[in-house]
């Protein structure tokens, strides 16, 4: 299996400039490929393969107007054209929406690096053609420092795949796939576990273990309050610096103070996100470490839950999809069977003792009382036990 590693890069100012330029080249090649596909389609032509477009671009580089493309790695443009062709094909085969042109301001800045030319050590990574016109600085600029030492496996027999350099608004990141064997230990528990996700508590396990909602903690509440204040302050700054245009509309002028505030807002948002994801990582790691036979979770309709105005913010903060994603790949790495229960399986309405279904169960009822056998149990714990039984019937 392929395991992906994501490590922060620590480039200097010259390297940052070159990385932004490489991301711009990738964006330009993607947009150019989309434009060629659209022109060809309007003229009644068939789908253009990426090999045809790459040949066209090679011929285009001979012109004086496009000679600047030779200063950057051809693998950046090659992969960008491939990505555009895949996006165009996915639309016509009904797998995705129609691809849009990438914007300089709004799109995610990223570029591809060739697996054969990437060299990784414990502390640095060597990127292709990350150089300036000066000969003295060539070797220095090619080697970019990694934020974590010894994180990515290195060796002669290690195979890397799909290395990408991305910018998230604050830092540059390297994501790279490494082919590894899954670790399957022989020591396992005799039974599996069921996990019920909720808003009051993040996760309730069939063993009786509960993981609290971290968003109710004072630390996150203070950060949320700070974020609101910064966003309110930023909005007022924009209103004070708007200029009336000739057409009668308004244009917002971005000052240095506005840029500083935007950076503070972005940092606060990133800190909130990192705290939540770190908490989920700790929970999922502790559950996988117990080595259960199988793990059962229900397939939640998160999009439908977000339509409820009273619960939408709480549901969004809980990051249910991220919890499921982490459990799924961690179970696969440890050789544990991961089962996703059917969305319409009545885990909350079914009695975990006798199996009778209680149709009229409102969301406000936090304690489950069975009408048939009189069994009284916590609603969420009852759901997690039912999920565990669901997995036992399948396994």
Q: What is the pLDDT of residues 14-46, one digit of tens each?
A: 999 999 999 999 999 999 999 999 999 999 888
Mean pLDDT over 342-364 rounds to 86
The Cα–Cα gap between 116 and 381 comes to 51
**Mean pLDDT estimate for the chain:** 90
Model confidence over 287-319: pLDDT tens digits?
Answer: 999 999 999 998 888 888 888 888 899 999 999
CA atoms within 13 A on the CB side of 387: 31
DSSP of 266-331, one letter per residue? HHHHHHHHHHHHHHHHHHHHHHHHT--SEEEEE---HHHHTT-TTTHHHHHHHTHHHHHHHHHHHH
Find which of 45-49, 113-117, 257-261, 359-363 is predicted with most confidence, using mean pLDDT: 257-261
Average pLDDT of the segment spanning 133-147: 69
Could you tell me the pLDDT band of residue 139, with boundaries at 50, 70 and 90? low
- Given a cut of 80, whether residue 395 has pLDDT beyond it is no
pLDDT at 132: 53
Does the pLDDT value for residue 136 go beyond 60?
no
Band (178; pLDDT cuts 50, 70, 90) = very high
* Cβ pair 11, 172 in contact under 8 A: yes
Is the predicted pLDDT of residue 138 greater than 60, yes or no? Answer: no
Q: Look at residue 356 in the predicted model and tell me its pLDDT.
A: 86
Average pLDDT for residues 230-242, to the nearest whole number?
Answer: 94
User: Three-class SS of residue 373?
Assistant: coil
Residue 331, Cβ neighbours under 10 Å: how many?
19
């Amino acid at each position: 299996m392929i395991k992906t590693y994501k490590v922060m890069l620590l480039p200097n100012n010259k390297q940052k400039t070159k990385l932004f330029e490489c991301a711009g080249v990738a964006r330009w090649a993607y947009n150019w490929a989309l434009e060629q596909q659209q022109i060809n389609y309007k003229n009644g032509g068939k789908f253009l393969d990426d090999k045809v477009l790459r040949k066209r671009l090679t011929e285009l580089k001979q012109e004086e107007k496009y000679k600047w493309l030779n200063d950057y790695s051809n693998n950046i443009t090659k992969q960008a054209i491939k990505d555009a062709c895949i996006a165009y094909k996915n639309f016509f085969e009904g797998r995705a929406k129609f691809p849009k042109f990438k914007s300089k301001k709004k799109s995610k800045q990223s570029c591809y690096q060739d697996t054969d030319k990437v060299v990784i050590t414990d502390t640095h990574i060597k990127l292709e053609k990350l150089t300036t016109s000066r000969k003295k600085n060539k070797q220095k600029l090619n080697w970019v420092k990694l934020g974590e030492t010894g994180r990515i496996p290195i060796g002669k027999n290690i195979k890397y795949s799909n290395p990408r350099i991305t910018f998230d608004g604050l830092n540059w990141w390297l994501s790279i796939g490494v082919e590894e064997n899954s670790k399957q230990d022989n020591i396992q528990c005799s039974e599996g576990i069921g996990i019920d996700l909720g808003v009051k508590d993040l996760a309730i396990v069939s063993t009786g273990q509960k993981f609290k909602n971290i968003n109710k903690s004072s630390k996150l509440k203070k950060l949320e309050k700070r974020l609101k204040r910064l966003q309110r302050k930023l909005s007022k700054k924009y209103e004070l610096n708007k200029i009336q245009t000739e057409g009668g509309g308004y244009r917002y002028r971005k000052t240095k103070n506005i840029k500083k505030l935007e950076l503070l807002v972005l940092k606060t948002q990133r800190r909130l996100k990192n705290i939540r994801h770190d908490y989920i990582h700790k929970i999922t790691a502790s559950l996988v470490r117990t080595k259960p036979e199988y793990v059962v979770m229900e397939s939640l309709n998160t999009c439908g839950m977000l339509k409820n105005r009273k619960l939408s913010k709480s549901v969004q903060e809980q990051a249910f999809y991220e919890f499921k994603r982490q459990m799924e790949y961690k179970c696969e790495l440890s050789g544990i069977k991961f089962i996703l229960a059917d969305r319409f399986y009545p885990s909350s309405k079914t009695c975990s003792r006798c199996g009778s279904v209680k149709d009229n169960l409102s969301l406000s009822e936090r304690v489950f009382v069975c009408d048939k056998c009189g069994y009284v149990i916590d609603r969420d714990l009852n759901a997690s036990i039912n999920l565990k039984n669901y997995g036992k019937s399948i396994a």
